[in-house]
Structure 1
C-alpha cells in the first residue's frame, strides 16, 4: 500500500514554511539552520541580560559604561591613564562577583504580634532570621517592604541552628491596610555595583483602624425599649395591649376575650399595637464632592465607625452601606451601594480600613435613595457626610425613607463647634471633633 504525500504540506503554517515555503535542498536547510541558531543565541543573550540586570545596580551600570569608555579611550587613543582606570573598574566588578557567589541559606519569618491597631499607634513587627544548615553563614542585610517604604537591618554571621531576631515599629499616621513583606535577603559588594536579592513570599497585612469613641448603650435616645418600638399599626397578636374589638370573620378563636364576650353577649377579640425591632441603617458617603478636605472624610469615617460598633455591640440589626463607585468610562452612573460586613465590630472596622474617597462615587442623596429601596423596615437612618452637603440636600435625602423612620444626619466639620438642629422630621448633628458625637447624641435624646 502506498500513500501519496504530494500536497501534504498544503495549509501548513509553521516557521519553516514562512521562511522557505515548500523549497527543499541545501540552501533551504542552511537558511533554516541559521535562523534556528540565531534564535538560540538571541534567547541565551536575553536570559543572560535578565540575569545581569537583576543583579546590577544603577551604580554598577554607570561604572560599567565608564569602564568600557575608558578601554576604548585608552587603547584607541593611547591614553595610558584611561587604561589604568578601565582595569580598576574590571577589578571592582571581579570583587563584586565574589561577594555574590554561593547560595543564600537563611530562612526568614515575619511575625505580626498585633495585626490590628488604632490609627496613630505604632505596630511592632518581629523578623526572625535563622540558619538551618550545618555550616556557618556570613553576615547579610535584610530588607522588609512596609507599604511604600523599606525597613532594613544587618544580620550578623550565624552559627548552625542559630537565629537572629529583630523588632521594628511601623508608624500608623493614617487609617488603611499596610502590606508588610515579603522579607528579602540582600547580598551586595561594599561599593554597591552588584546586588543579589532572595525573597520569601510571606506577607502580612496590618489593619489600621479608624479612631472611635465609646458611645453609651442606648445613648441615641431614638429607641427606648429592648424588644422593639410600639407603632400605630394594630395587630391581633403582639405584646403591647391596645383595646378590644368585635369578632370578625377570619379572626382566630384563641384571641377571643371570653370575659368581655360574656358581659357584652358578642364575641370580643384582643387588639395589640404592633412592635418592631429597630433596624439601624448607617450610610456613609465616599464622594469627594461631599467633603471639603481629607480631614473631614476621616472624621466622618470615625463617626460612622463609632455608631456602627456601638450598634453591633448592642446586638441590633445593622446595615452599614457606602457609596458604590462608577467606572471611569461608564456612560451612566452606577446607582448602587456597597454593604460592609457588620457581623462583629472587628470585621466592620477591618472593612472600614479599605474604603477611600472616590471621585465618581454616589453622593449622599443618591446613597440614601438606594439604601432606602434596598434595606427594608428601617427604623433609624444615620447619614454621615461632610460640610459640602447642604441642608436642602439632607432634607431631600431624608424624604427617601418611609414615614416613621427617624433620620439623623451627621455633618463633620473639623474644629467647628458642635450643634443640633431639627429641620422638620430631620435631625442634623454637627460635630467638630469625634468626642462631640457623644455629647451631641445625648442632646438629641434630651430633645
Structure 2
C-alpha cells in the first residue's frame, strides 16, 4: 500500500519539473525574442540616424559644389589647385619655388573673399520705350541702378545679355539711396526677335578669382520690326466700294444701272423694266435691267519666300519684307480690306502633294509688323505659282494683287505667275534688286506694272504714280 502511495508523488514531481522546464524555456525564448527586438530597433535607429546624417552631408556637399561652380572662376580654380598641390609638393620635395607659388595663390584667394562680402541690394530700372525696335537703328534704353540698402555698396559690374553677346558696365561705390544712371543704347539689329536679358549684377575681385552673380531682371523678347516707309494713298487698280469705280462685268443685280436686255426664263422678274416693256408693246416680250458690277475693293500682298527667288548673299529679301510691310501698313492706314501672304515651308517628301501659304495678321499695324519679324526665306518654301493659285482660290473677291519678289524672277516668269490670278484684277510686281547697277524704275510689260527698287526708300516715289 505504501508503494502505491509513493508513485503518484513521483509522477507529480516529474510533471512539476517538466512544467517548470517549459516555463523556463518560454521565459528564455521570450527573453531572446525581446533582446532580438531591442537589437533590431537599435540597428534601425542607427541606420535611420546614419541616413539622416548622410543626407545632410550629401546636401551640404551639393551646396558646396554649387557654390564653387557659381563662385570660383577658372583663375580661382587654378589658384586652389596651386594651394592644394604645390604647397605640399614644395614642402615634401624641398622645392621653395612650388611652396612660394602655392602661398601666393592662397594670398590671392584670401584677398578675393572680402570683395564678395555684402549683398547685392540693387534696384534696376530699364527704360525701354517699347518692346519693339526698328531694324538697323540704334535705340536708347537708359539703365538706372539704385542702392536700396541702408549701408554702403561696394563697386560691382552690371552685365546685360543681348542676343548672343554680353555688355558690361561698372557700378561705382553707392551710398544708401544713391542711383547710378547708365546711358545705354541697344546696337542696331537685324529684323527678327531679339533676346534681351537677363540683367545681372556681378561682384568680383580685381583678378576675377571669385565671382558672385545676382540676377535682377529676367530675359525678355524684343521684336525688331522691318524698316518701312509711309506710302501715298494707292488708287490704281483698286475698286472702290458703292460710290467707287465699277467693274466692266455686267450682272443682273447691283446698284449701278447699265443697260437692258430681253427677259429669259429664269431671270428675276423684279428687275423687269416695265416702262420700256410697255413702250415696245410686244406681247410676251419683257425687257430686263442690267447693271455694272460694283464690288468691295480687296488688295492682297504676296511675299515670295523661296531663296531661289532672290539673289544669293544679298539683302534683297530684307528689302522685299520691308516693301510688303510698307504696302500692308498703307492699306491698314487707309482702312482698306487687305491680306498679306507668303509661301510656307513644305517638307521635301511632301513637295508636289502638299500646299500651304502663310497669312499674316492685319488687324493692326503692330500685329502685321510682329508677324513680319518671324518670316524667313527658305529653300523649302513653296514657289510663287502655287502661292498665287492658292491665294486666288482663297480670296475670290480680290481686286488688286501686289507681288513682291527678288531680282531672279524674270518678266517671263512674272507673266506665268500672273496666269494663276484672275484676269480681271490689277497686278503689280515689286522687284527688290540689290545689284550695283540696279536703279529705281517703273515698267509696264504685257499689262503688268513692274516696280524695281534698290532699297526701301525708292518705293514711295514709285508709288506716287498711282495718285490721281
Q: What range describes the TM-score normalised by the shorter chain of this pair?
A: 0.7 to 0.9
2:431 to 404, 411, 415: 411
CA distance in 2, matches of 1:64, 1:291: 57
**Alpha-carbon offset, residue 297 of structure 1:** 1.2
| Structure holding more helix per residue | 2
- Give unmatched runs, 5+ long, in structure 1: 1-23
* 1:308 to partner: Cα distance: 1.4
Say which is worse superposed, 25-34 or 298-307, in terms of deviation: 25-34
The 1:435/1:112 distance shift into structure 2, 3 A limit, reads: closer
42 and 63 in structure 1: CA distance in 2 versus 1, 3 angstrom threshold: same
| Cα offsets for 1:334-369 (capped at 9, x unmatched) | 521211112222322222223223232223333323
**Of 147, 158, 166, which aligns to 2:182?**
166
Do the aligned partners of 1:229 and 1:278 also contact (CA within 8 Å) in 2?
no
Aligned counterpart for 1:289 among listed residues 308, 321, 341: 308
Counterpart pick for 1:332 among 350, 373, 378: 350
Could you tell me how far apart the structure 1 residues matched to 2:88 and 2:409 are?
70
**Does 1:130 find its partner at 2:143?**
no
Q: Gaps (5+ residues) in structure 2?
A: 1-39
Secondary structure of the corresponding residue to residue 280 of structure 1: strand
C-alpha distance in 2 between matches for 1:191 and 1:49 = 22
> 1:301 Cα shift?
1.4
The SS at the match of 1:381 is strand
Q: Name the residue aligned to 2:237.
A: 222
- The question of 1:306 aligning with 2:306 is answered no
Mapped partners of 2:321, 2:450: distance in 1: 17
Matches within 5 A, 1:69-108: 69-108=85-124
Note the C-alpha offset of 1:37: 8.0
Equivalent runs, 1:54-65 vs 2, <5 Å: 54-65=70-81
1:393 aligns with 2:413: yes
* Change in CA separation of 1:58 and 1:364 when aligned onto 2, cut-off 3 Å: farther
Find out whether 1:428 has 2:441 as its counterpart.
no
Q: How many residues align?
A: 420
Q: Which residue of 1 aligns with 2:203?
A: 187
Residue of 422, 438, 443 corresponding to 2:460 = 438
Residue in structure 1 matched with residue 337 of structure 2 by the alignment: 317
Rg larger in structure? 2
Counterpart position of 1:366: 386
1:49-79 superposed Cα distances (whole Å, 9 cap, x missing partner): 2321112222223333344442243133221
Q: Residue in 2 aligned with 1:13?
A: none
Offset of 1:184 from its aligned partner? 0.8
Distance 2:336 2:466 in 1: 20
Higher mean Cα deviation, 412-421 or 32-41?
Answer: 32-41
Decide whether the 8 Å contact of 1:318 with 1:342 is kept in 2: yes
- Write the distance in 1 (CA, Å) between the matches of 2:95 and 2:457: 76
Please name the residue that 1:16 is paired with: none
Q: How does 1:193-208 map to 2 (within 5 A)?
A: 193-208=209-224
How far apart in 1 are the matches of 2:47 and 2:178?
60
Please give the secondary structure, in 2, of the residue aligned with 1:372. Answer: helix
Distance 1:408 1:382 in 2: 5
Matched-pair contact (CA < 8 Å) for 2:225–2:369? yes
CA RMSD of aligned residues (A): 3.3
When the two structures are superposed, what TM-score results if normalisation uses the length of structure 1?
Answer: 0.82
